[in-house]
Structure 1
Amino acid sequence: MHELSMRVIFLFSLIVLFASSCISNKRITYLQNLPGNEPIELDEFIPFAEYEKNYILQPFDVVDIDFASADDELTKVFEFQGSRNMRMGGAGMMGAGDLFFFTGYAIDADGYVQVPRLGKIKIAGLNEEQARLEVEEAIKAYFKDDVYVRLRIGGIRFTALGEFSRSGTMTLLKHRATIFDAVAMAGESDILAKKNKLFLVRQYDGGTKIHQINLNDRALLASPFYFIQNNDILYLEPMNIRQFGRADNLSSSLSLILSISSSLLLLVALFTRNI
């Protein structure tokens, strides 16, 4: 009778352990037609949701400003010494996104950039094209001929935290990028991540909002959060089973637990027989 109860306990332990380790495909599969949503069929056209297509520049952003005119020597006066040469020759030595940090113009806390000769120009609160026109208007006073100004942010910078293959701040060298571009760059999350609870921290003019995104949901393609923006922060939560170990060593952890359980049951059986 005692031996039978030991077997029952052992089988029950196995069932609990394996049940806790089972993860439904519905929790790890991207872009599903989830219940309660209008199904989106294959090859169906999905219009983009309304979103702020033109990123609004904010304090502490870094922008690249370049000038071109018939008088090349004069345009050099309006650039920091050596920045043009660094842009042309330094891209091979470091990531192009990082290069903008060294050669670009930082927007200060009050929203201004300091441009040689031109002084402070306020561009925070404007999109790239509006900011470009502001700088172009300021420099025209020094030129008889037309002068062209190029102003752009140094790619889309975002920060990935949590259950990604790698975390940290990264740069997508695109003018427009999707949430899946960011997930791919950060390393596709393992099976122990809550893909239905990706938190997106987004900077707005004067503040911040936290949004929750479901990567399992096909309706995300029509969401305003399908495209990421500069300075977004992505945080991917782990599942509760994460306490047993990472995806790559979960089987080892379960094997260890089962070995310890078997040893304890054997010791209990031997001890009770000797009583």
Structure 2
Amino acid sequence: MKHFAYTVLLILIASSCISNKRITYLQNLPENEVINLDEFIPYAKVEYKYILQPFDIVDIDFASSNPELTEAFTFQGTRNIRGGMMGAGAGGDLFFFTGYSIDESGFIELPKLGKIQIAGLSEQDAKEKVQQAIDAYFKDDVFVKLRTAGIRYTTIGEFGRSGTNVILRNRATIFDALAASGESNILAKRNKLFIIRQYDGGTKIHQINLHDRALLASPYYFIQPNDILYLEPMRIRQLGNADNLSSSLQLFATFLASGLLIFGLVRGNL
């Protein structure tokens, strides 16, 4: 009976172990190969250029030596909102209140200039299109600045923190997104990270492997605005999450050992 109890406990412990190969990033090095820390891995030959889409929000600002010209493009209270929210650390979310939303047809509407279609354009091309519109309206020089509200993405599944995050940069990698989301859970299938990415007229689902060094040269190494990242759980997740799995296994082992002990005592008294 004692040997049987030990055997059951060993099987239980072995089944609950998670191999390092299942949680280590950027693996697939040949055996016995000396890691070259200076190895150069070029980015994939995919132009990193986000294309504006309907329902995106862009921030447009104007500057001129003649302040009366730019005053016509400033909504009442916008400057105060920007100053107050930046002071409160609102970050990219302030563009929701002060920016211009692209409508379903791909247009933004600007004071004096009317509707301008910018969906389907890159940030730089959209800036140039707005600049052309204002140059045709004013004889004086007015400089246009147009930018998106950072890189907003959503994480669901086995992340440290699921939810929507904003990275206030023009470019961010998948590892930047992981770090900002509290890293991936120890019970996540890191070889199956799904990226739900928006394209003109629809979405696509891409699968990437965080174990594979080839990710560094992948076209999905850089995330894009509105990406949704989903990490599947391992099957062992059914026993509990990463925080309480160990406690669950210990409790189960205690009940098992107690049951075996009682069974042995009863059997010995028969």
Q: TM-score, normalised by structure 1?
A: 0.92
Contact 2:81 2:98 in 1 (8 A): yes
1:80 is matched with which residue?
75
Q: How many residues align?
A: 269
6, 10, 15: which one aligns with 1:11:
6
Task: Please state if 1:54 is matched with 2:49.
Answer: yes
Give the alignment of 1:234-273 within 5 angstroms. 234-273=229-268
Contact 2:73 2:110 in 1 (8 A): yes
Any conservation in 2 of the 1:33–1:39 contact (CA below 8 Å)? no
Q: Could you tell me whether the CA contact under 8 Å between 1:155 and 1:174 is conserved in 2? A: yes
1:76 Cα deviation from its structure 2 partner: 1.8
Whole-angstrom CA distance in 1 between matches of 2:104 and 2:29: 44
1:233 maps to 2:222: no
| Paired position in structure 2 for 1:101 | 96
Partner AA of 2:218 in structure 1: S
Distance 1:25 1:99 in 2: 42
119-128 vs 13-22, greater mean Cα deviation: 13-22
- When structure 1 is superposed on structure 2, of 18-27 and 89-98 the one drifting more is 89-98
1:174 pairs with 2:179: no
Mapped partners of 2:8, 2:265: distance in 1: 19
**Partners of 1:99 and 1:40 in 2: how far apart?**
45
Aligned pairs (5 A) from 1:104-253: 104-253=99-248
Instruction: Specify the SS of the correspondent of 1:177.
Output: coil
Cα distance in 1 between the residues matched to 2:173 and 2:48: 12
Rounded to whole Å, the distance in 2 between the matches of 1:206 and 1:107 is 14
SS across alignment from 2:87:
coil
Specify the alignment match of 1:29 in structure 2: 24
Does the alignment pair 1:41 with 2:32?
Answer: no
Q: What's the RMSD between the two structures over aligned residues?
A: 1.9
Contact 1:46/1:222 (8 A) holds in 2: yes
Query: Is 98-107 or 71-80 further displaced after alignment?
Result: 71-80
CA deviation after TM superposition for structure 1 residue 26, in Å:
0.9
> What TM-score do the two structures reach when normalised by structure 2?
0.93
Structure 1 CA distance, aligned partners of 2:166 and 2:91? 9
Q: 1:48 to 1:15 in 2, by over 3 A?
A: same
Change in 2 beyond 3 A, CA 1:69/1:39: farther
Name the counterpart of 1:3.
Answer: none
Conserved in 2, the CA contact under 8 Å of 1:51 and 1:224? yes
Cα distance in 2 for residues equivalent to 1:198 and 1:79 = 43
Task: Report the more deviating stretch, 152-161 or 24-33.
Answer: 24-33
SS, match of residue 44 in structure 2:
coil
Q: Please give the alpha-carbon distance, in whole angstroms, between the structure 2 residues aligned to 1:72 and 1:89.
A: 22
Q: CA deviation at 1:233?
A: 0.5
